[in-house]
């Protein structure tokens, strides 16, 4: 593309009053860029001006120096043109008021030593924008060779069935695979179901059979029972899936990655790529490599993971203090449901009527934790099962001892109705023990609402054990990905198939695979059905994005893909290993094999590549590097007391919006900082930092999402990886006799805009204390 540049400077929103626009125009002029100003660029006249230049002058690369790129993006979108938005409004004039950084007076204008911080900043940003557009190009969509829009649903329970129906309703072909011999899953095993409609106050008969009947009305749904996934290979829009009978062994069973201890030789030295691959194949004997496609495999475009949950099975000796395993009449809530579904509630020990039943919601023993994998659903189940006792016996009594009674939303109505039952007794309390007393049991509890240690006679005791996601036991999806068959690091979600719980439901760490129902978190039937709908829509969104070569999420619609300059690849495998989404496989030589449709365009690969061979057409080592180099670094040659220059690399997901809000609220911070937005802190390549320091900048900081167990990174691991890299960069800096503290990383949430000025100013102050970068001026 032949670039024809045009720089447009807006004078609205206070920009014209705060800046010397004429002087600002000199910046592009010096570079030979045509420049125009406009009183209000987003006005009809302003946009007309741009459109006219595009049409008449052939301008196709525009630098718009106005407001944040996060606003008016539709107004300033011109198809076929490269547009860069230089943020003079939020980032310059709104956050650096003239009252604090005065403009030069008439006399000062000729004073060489006078520093006009705000003008200087605007000029830097304009230069950076101009530098960037020189280095970026328009993207070409990545088109799959073959594209399939069928949806695979793993799991034929209430969630899977609902997801299949929802997807089928919109015209998609769906296949459900169910490992059991019939559809229905857990929801088929109950006596009754929690209320699913207003007024949410009484139990209803199980609804799953109706759903199964409904399913038969859709000719575009195929059901395969007694079937599991052996492996899923490929990428969204083009998955090759091998199905098999449960327990069957095939050559397309998914291979597992080598454990860490097998990746080294006897001396503890890391094996080279080929030796590793040989070892991998040996480790997975009888199985094909991930890159070998099953020619008989079925093609799918997206996957809905609805494999559900299984009842928690207490281990040998677990809950012995509650008599579990020793007393036959102490059962789990799942066992109790089986009893209730089979008829009147009786005791397993002697088959006698169980008229007094105690439901224990927390194992006690010193803390108030509930049983593992339990939550709101287990609370509701206890209430439901208490009602069974009352249904069966008019003189029946049901006691619920809980530490937490979680009845979310309108299920509160159900709680209220259960509470109204004269034979159901609810109390918070710590159950201290269950013991035998003649023919019945005695349950003892402390710290109850009754204000003292109490004992209750019981015929049957029920433990409120939880719902374990299928992903706890096996990967289920069995992805033929180099990173392994399942989701990585899901231990922080107790192995629930989830990636970022709050912001992006249904998203897993694998693009094109959407989780719903009990596998994502414990859910009621009603919640599972709603969840299934959400996941079905996500799967459809995926298909309708991949077919156009654009990213699904969270950079929805992004057409760029990472471009690998393979000639210079050293097969270090870092990109394969660090990609948070397992988008990159590698061959037996260790050469990366990107799967662009799996990619979420975060740029983590670009950030980690030591050879810097991974780039996006509009976001590259060079484009950001050039922006860094465009920042003017004043030295003692320029001023007696040159101001500091600090680079801030800002994550565009949360930190950048927060920074805009800082400007919007007219909060101010140091004028010595220059910001560059990055896709994710994971995409920050240390070369940018080294470049910045080498050119005399005094410090660099990264501003991005929180990491750790409660991470908020939109790309799961980006900010965490950046943190690791920044810790390592310290060594490199000290070898240059630069203080490690010149580089820092800060975590902010999107709502923490008020903390940002302090973070920035504190960092600037700490750099000031260290003194200027000794390399300045070289």
Partner 1 sequence: MADAYLIEPDLDFIKEVGALGGEDLKKCYQCATCSVACAISPETKPFPRKEMIAASWGLKDRLVGNADIWLCHNCGDCSTRCPREAKPGDVLAAVRTYAISEYAQPKWLVNALKEPKKLPILLAIPTVLFIVVGLVTGLLDFTPDLSEGIKHYKFFSTWLVDMHMVPAAIFMVAVFALGLKRFLGDIHQNALQEGKTKKEKIEVVGFITAFLKVIPTILKHSKFSDCTENKDREIAHMLTIFGFIGLFIVTSIIFLVMWGSYLLPSGPLHGPWSQLNPVKWLANASGIALIVGTVWLIINRRAKKDQKSDYWDWYLIYLAFGLGVTGMGTELTRLAGWAFICYLLYFIHLILVFCMIAYLPFSKLAHLVYRTVAMTYNEYAGRNF
Site of interaction with partner 1 (CB under 8 A): 395, 397, 416, 419-423, 425, 427-428, 442, 444, 449-457
Distance in Å, CB of 585 to partner 1, minimum: 55
Determine if the peptide bond prior to 478 is cis (ω within 30°).
Answer: no
Distance in Å, CB of 433 to partner 1, minimum: 10
Which is nearer to partner 1, 398 or 689 (by Cβ)?
398
Which is nearer to partner 1, 393 or 496 (by Cβ)?
393
Distance in Å, CB of 515 to partner 1, minimum: 35
Which is nearer to partner 1, 102 or 409 (by Cβ)?
409
114 burial (CB, 10 Å; 0-12 / 13-18 / 19+) is: middle
- Element counts in the chain: helices (H) and strands (E): 18, 30
| Residue 64 backbone phi and psi in degrees, to 5 | -105, 105
Distance in Å, CB of 464 to partner 1, minimum: 19
Which is nearer to partner 1, 100 or 416 (by Cβ)?
416
Which is nearer to partner 1, 449 or 749 (by Cβ)?
449
Q: Among candidates 122, 125, 126, which has minimal Cα distance to 103? A: 122
Distance in Å, CB of 405 to partner 1, minimum: 9
Distance in Å, CB of 321 to partner 1, minimum: 15
Which is nearer to partner 1, 335 or 435 (by Cβ)?
435
The length of the chain is 778
Which is nearer to partner 1, 429 or 485 (by Cβ)?
429
Name 278's Cβ contacts closer than 8 Å, sequence gap at least 6: none
Which is nearer to partner 1, 427 or 665 (by Cβ)?
427
Q: CA-CA distances (angstroms) from residue 107 to 111, 113, 242, 596?
A: 7, 12, 79, 59
Name 636's Cβ contacts closer than 8 Å, sequence gap at least 6: 642, 776, 777
- Residue with the two structure tokens 């209220």: 416
Q: Among candidates 762, 745, 756, 766, which has minimal Cα distance to 689? A: 745
Q: Among candidates 581, 552, 553, which has minimal Cα distance to 483? A: 581
| Residue 153 backbone phi and psi in degrees, to 5 | -110, 120
Which is nearer to partner 1, 442 or 732 (by Cβ)?
442
Alpha carbon 642 to its chain centroid, in Å, reads 43
Which is nearer to partner 1, 207 or 448 (by Cβ)?
448
Span between the terminal Cα atoms of the chain, in Å: 36
The residues facing 154 across adjacent strands are 177, 305
Distance in Å, CB of 425 to partner 1, minimum: 5
Helix (H, G, I), strand (E, B) or coil at 225: strand
Distance in Å, CB of 412 to partner 1, minimum: 10
Q: Among candidates 530, 466, 535, which has minimal Cα distance to 499? A: 535
- The secondary structure of the chain in percent helix, strand, coil, rounded to multiples of 5, reads 35, 20, 45
Distance in Å, CB of 353 to partner 1, minimum: 16
Q: Report d(CA 118, CA 126) in Å as an integer.
A: 12
Distance in Å, CB of 235 to partner 1, minimum: 52
Q: Are 757 and 669 in contact, with CB atoms under 8 Å apart?
A: yes
Distance in Å, CB of 755 to partner 1, minimum: 36
Which is nearer to partner 1, 408 or 572 (by Cβ)?
408
Q: Report d(CA 767, CA 646) in Å as an integer.
A: 9
Q: Are 222 and 175 in contact, with CB atoms under 8 Å apart?
A: yes
Q: CA-CA distances (angstroms) from residue 365 to 183, 284, 368, 463?
A: 40, 44, 8, 14
Distance in Å, CB of 457 to partner 1, minimum: 7
Distance in Å, CB of 703 to partner 1, minimum: 44
Q: Report d(CA 767, CA 778) in Å as an integer.
A: 19
Which is nearer to partner 1, 293 or 442 (by Cβ)?
442
Distance in Å, CB of 446 to partner 1, minimum: 8
682 burial (CB, 10 Å; 0-12 / 13-18 / 19+) is: buried
For 549-568, the three-class secondary structure string (H helix, E strand, C coil) is: CCCCCCCCCCCCCCEECHHH
Which is nearer to partner 1, 437 or 758 (by Cβ)?
437
Distance in Å, CB of 355 to partner 1, minimum: 11
Reading the block at residue 319, the tokens are 């809950």
Helix (H, G, I), strand (E, B) or coil at 341: helix
Q: CA-CA distances (angstroms) from residue 59 to 62, 73, 512?
A: 7, 18, 38
Alpha helices in 88-236 (DSSP H): 117-135, 158-169, 208-215
Which is nearer to partner 1, 295 or 422 (by Cβ)?
422
- Residue with the two structure tokens 């908020």: 712
Q: Report d(CA 339, CA 351) in Å as an integer.
A: 11
Which is nearer to partner 1, 207 or 419 (by Cβ)?
419
Q: Quick one: CA dihedral 92, 95, 101, 102, positive or negative?
A: positive
């Amino acid at each position: 593309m032949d670039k024809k540049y045009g720089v447009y400077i807006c004078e609205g929103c206070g920009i014209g009053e705060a800046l010397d626009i004429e002087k600002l125009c000199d910046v592009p002029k010096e570079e030979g860029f045509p420049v125009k100003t406009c009183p209000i660029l987003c006005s009809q006249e302003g946009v007309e001006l741009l459109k006219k230049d595009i049409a008449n002058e052939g301008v196709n690369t525009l630098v718009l120096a106005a407001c944040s790129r996060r606003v008016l993006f539709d107004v300033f979108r011109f198809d076929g043109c490269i547009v860069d938005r230089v943020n003079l409004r939020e980032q310059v004039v709104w956050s650096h008021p003239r009252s604090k950084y005065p403009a030069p007076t008439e006399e000062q204008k000729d004073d060489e030593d006078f520093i006009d911080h705000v003008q200087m900043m605007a000029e830097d940003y304009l230069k950076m924008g101009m530098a960037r557009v020189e280095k970026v190009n328009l993207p070409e969509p990545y088109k799959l060779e073959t594209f399939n829009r069928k949806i695979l649903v793993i799991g034929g329970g209430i969630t899977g069935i609902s997801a299949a129906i929802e997807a089928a309703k919109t015209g998609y072909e769906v296949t459900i695979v169910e490992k059991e011999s019939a559809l229905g899953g857990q929801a088929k095993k109950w006596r009754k179901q929690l209320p699913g409609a207003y007024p949410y106050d009484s139990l209803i008969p199980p609804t799953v059979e109706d759903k199964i009947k409904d399913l038969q009305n859709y000719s575009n749904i195929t059901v395969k029972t007694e079937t599991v996934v052996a492996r899923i290979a490929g990428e969204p829009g083009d998955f090759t899936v091998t199905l098999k009978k449960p327990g069957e062994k095939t050559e397309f069973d998914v291979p597992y990655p080598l454990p860490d201890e097998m990746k080294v030789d006897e001396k503890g030295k890391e094996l080279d790529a080929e030796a590793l691959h040989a070892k991998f194949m040996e480790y997975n004997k009888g199985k094909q490599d991930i890159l070998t496609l099953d020619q008989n495999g079925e093609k799918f475009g997206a996957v809905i993971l609805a494999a559900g949950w299984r009842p928690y099975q207490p281990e040998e000796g677990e809950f012995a203090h509650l008599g579990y395993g020793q007393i036959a009449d102490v059962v789990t809530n799942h066992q109790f449901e089986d009893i209730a579904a089979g008829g009147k509630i009786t005791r397993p020990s002697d088959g006698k009527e169980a008229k007094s039943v105690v439901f224990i919601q927390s194992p006690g023993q010193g803390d108030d934790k509930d049983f593992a994998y339990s939550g709101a659903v287990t609370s509701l189940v206890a209430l439901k099962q208490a009602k069974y006792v009352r249904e069966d016996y008019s003189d029946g009594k049901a006691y619920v001892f809980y530490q937490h009674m979680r009845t979310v939303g309108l299920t509160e109505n159900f709680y209220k109705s259960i509470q109204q039952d004269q034979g159901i007794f609810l109390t918070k309390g710590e159950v201290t023990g269950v013991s035998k007393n003649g023919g019945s049991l005695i349950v003892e509890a402390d710290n109850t609402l009754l204000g003292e240690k109490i004992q209750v006679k019981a015929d049957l005791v029920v433990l409120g054990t939880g719902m374990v996601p299928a992903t706890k036991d096996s990967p289920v999806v069995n992805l033929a990905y180099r990173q392994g068959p399942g989701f990585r690091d899901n231990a922080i979600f107790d192995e629930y198939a989830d990636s970022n719980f709050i912001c992006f439901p249904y998203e897993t760490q694998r693009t094109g695979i959407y989780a719903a129902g009990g596998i994502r978190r414990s859910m009621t039937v009603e919640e599972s059905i709603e969840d299934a709908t959400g996941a079905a829509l996500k799967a459809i969104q995926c298909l309708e994005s991949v077919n156009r070569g654009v990213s699904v999420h969270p950079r929805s619609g992004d057409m760029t893909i990472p471009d690998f300059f393979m000639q210079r690849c050293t097969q270090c495998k870092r990109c394969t290993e660090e990609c948070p989404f397992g988008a990159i496989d590698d061959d037996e030589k260790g050469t990366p094999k990107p799967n662009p449709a799996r990619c979420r365009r975060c740029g983590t690969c670009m950030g980690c590549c030591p050879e810097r061979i991974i780039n996006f057409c509009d976001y590259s080592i060079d484009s950001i590097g050039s922006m860094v180099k465009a920042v003017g670094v004043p030295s003692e040659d320029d001023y007696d007391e040159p101001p500091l220059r600090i680079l801030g690399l800002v994550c565009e997901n949360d930190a950048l919006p927060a920074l805009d809000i800082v400007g919007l609220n007219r909060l101010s911070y140091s004028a010595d900082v220059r910001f560059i937005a990055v896709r994710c802190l994971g995409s920050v390549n240390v070369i940018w930092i080294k470049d910045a320091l080498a050119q005399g900048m005094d410090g660099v900081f990264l501003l991005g999402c929180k990491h750790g167990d409660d991470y908020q990174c939109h790309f799961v691991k980006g900010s965490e990886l950046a943190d690791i890299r920044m810790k390592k960069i310290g060594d490199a800096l000290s070898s240059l006799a630069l203080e490690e503290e010149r580089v820092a990383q800060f975590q902010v949430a999107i709502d923490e805009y008020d903390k940002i000025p302090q973070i920035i100013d504190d960092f600037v102050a700490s750099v000031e204390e260290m003194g200027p970068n000794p390399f300045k001026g070289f």
